[in-house]
Amino acid sequence: MAPYLKEFDLYEPQGVDGLQFPTQKIAVVGSGSWGTALARISALNAAEKKGFDHEVRMWVHENENSGQGPHENPRYLPDVSLPNNLVAISELSDVVKDATLIVLVFPRQFLTFILEELSKPGVLTPGARAISAIRGIEVAGEQIYTFPWLIEKKLGIPCSALVHSIEDVAGVSLSGALKNVVALAAGFVDGMGYGGNTKAAILRVGLLEMTAFTKEFFPSSSSITFSHHSASVADLITSSFEGRNRKCAEAFIKTGKTFAQLEDELLKGQKLPGVVTAEEIYRFLQVRGRTEGYPLLTKVYKISFESMDPKRLFNDL
C-alpha cells in the first residue's frame, strides 16, 4: 500500500500569539453510537499516549446523560463500558473549552446549530483543529459541499475527514455519503430475495457511480480513494451486508412500511443517512440535468420516494 498511503508526521499543536500547548486536548461533539465509539477510543488512547490531556469530553444532547457516570451509553452503545476519563457534558462550550483536537460526529440536522455555537467569540481555542466524522453532504441548488469544507468555512479552522492518512478529503467525504445510498440498493436486493451474485453486480455499479459522481463534481479527488481505501470499497461492502441502511431497505421491501416508520421501529428514532442523501443527490442531479448519468442513484431515490417498482432497479444498469 506504500504508493497509496501518505506518511504524515504526528500532529503537534503549535503555539499561537505566544501561547504554548504542552499537550493536546480532545473533545468529541456527539454521543450517538458512532460518536460514543470514537469518544471511547479517543479516551483510551489519551490515557495511554504521551502528549495528551487524559480527560476527554463528549457532548451529549440530553441533560440527564451528562456528568461523570454511569460510564456507559445504553441507548446507543449498550453493554460497552466507557473509560473513567471520558466525561459526558451537555453544555457545548464546556465540551470544547481548551480543546486542540475536536472530533465532530453528530447527526447532520444539528450542523447549523452546532457551528453557530462554536463560531461564537471565545468558544474555540486558538490553533484548534477539527476532524469530521459526519456522514453525508450538503446540497444547495446546483452546488454540493462536503462537511469538512463547510466546517472550515464557518469556523475558520482546519478540518479533515476521519480516515487513515490520505489527502483526498473530498473523495473520503463523498464515498462516506454515497455508499449509504448504494447500501439501500443492496437492501432492496435482499428484500426481493435475490442472491449474492445479484448484490455483487449492484455493488459494482454502485462503486462505479460513486467514483464517477465524485470525479465529475470534485475533479481534484482521486479514483484511488475508491479502490484502495477503507473509506470507500471496504465501507461499502460492510454497509451493504451489515449496515442499518441495508437492514431498513430490506424491511422497506418486505413490509411495505415507510422509512420513517422503520426508523422508529428498528433504529429507535435514529435517521437513516442513506435516505436523506438519496434525496439530496437526486435533487442535485435534477438541477444539473445529470440523472441519466447515474441510473442506480436515481432509481434508489425513485423506489424510496416515488413508489417505483423495485424490480426496475436492474433496468439499464
Whether residue 33 is annotated as binding a ligand: the answer is: yes
Whether residue 34 is annotated as binding a ligand: the answer is: yes
Q: At what angle do helices 196-217 and 169-191 cross, to 10 degrees?
A: 150
Query: Can the peptide bond before residue 70 be classed as cis, meaning omega within 30 degrees of 0?
Result: yes
Burial class of residue 268, CB neighbours in 10 A (0-12, 13-18, 19+): exposed
Whether residue 284 is annotated as binding a ligand: the answer is: no
Q: Which of 6, 50, 97, 179 is flagged as catalytic? A: 179
254 catalytic residue (yes or no): no
Whether residue 30 is annotated as binding a ligand: the answer is: yes
Whether residue 293 is annotated as binding a ligand: the answer is: no
Whether residue 51 is annotated as binding a ligand: the answer is: no
Whether residue 32 is annotated as binding a ligand: the answer is: yes
CA distances from 106 to 60, 183, 220, 266 (A): 10, 20, 27, 19
Annotated binding site: 30-35, 110, 244, 271
Binding residue numbers for NAD(+): 30-35, 110, 244, 271
Residue positions annotated with a catalytic role: 179
